[in-house]
Amino acid sequence: MPIYEFHCEDCNKNFESLVMIASALDDVTCKHCKGSNIKKMISATSSTQPLKGGGIPAGALSGCSSSSGFS
C-alpha cells in the first residue's frame, strides 16, 4: 500500500495519502480543502536498507561478496 504525495491546485498545499489500489487515485481529495483538483507528485523513494554500488539493497545478494572474488 503505497503512500503518494499530491499537490492541490485549489489551495496550493501538498499532502500525502495512503492509496490501497491504483484505481483509487481518482478518488483522492485534498486533506486541507477537500478539493479534487489535485496532481500526483513525483517523490523520492526511501529504504531502511543501505544501498550497494548498483542500487541493490544490502543483503540482497546473500552469499556473494564483491571483495572475495571467485570461489
Domain assignments of the chain as residue spans, ordered by start: 3-40
Round to whole Å and give the CA distance between 46 and 48.
7
Q: Angle CA(53)–CA(55)–CA(61) in degrees, nearest 5? A: 80
Residue count (the chain): 71
Q: How do the residues of the chain divide into helix, strand and coil, expressed in percent and rounded to 5? A: 10, 25, 70
Q: What is the DSSP letter of 6?
A: E
**7-65 tens-digit pLDDT:** 999 999 999 998 888 778 889 999 999 999 999 998 776 666 665 665 655 565 565 55
Q: What pLDDT sits at residue 32?
A: 95
Residues in contact with 11: Cβ distance below 8 Å, sequence separation at least 6, in sequence order: 30, 32, 33, 35
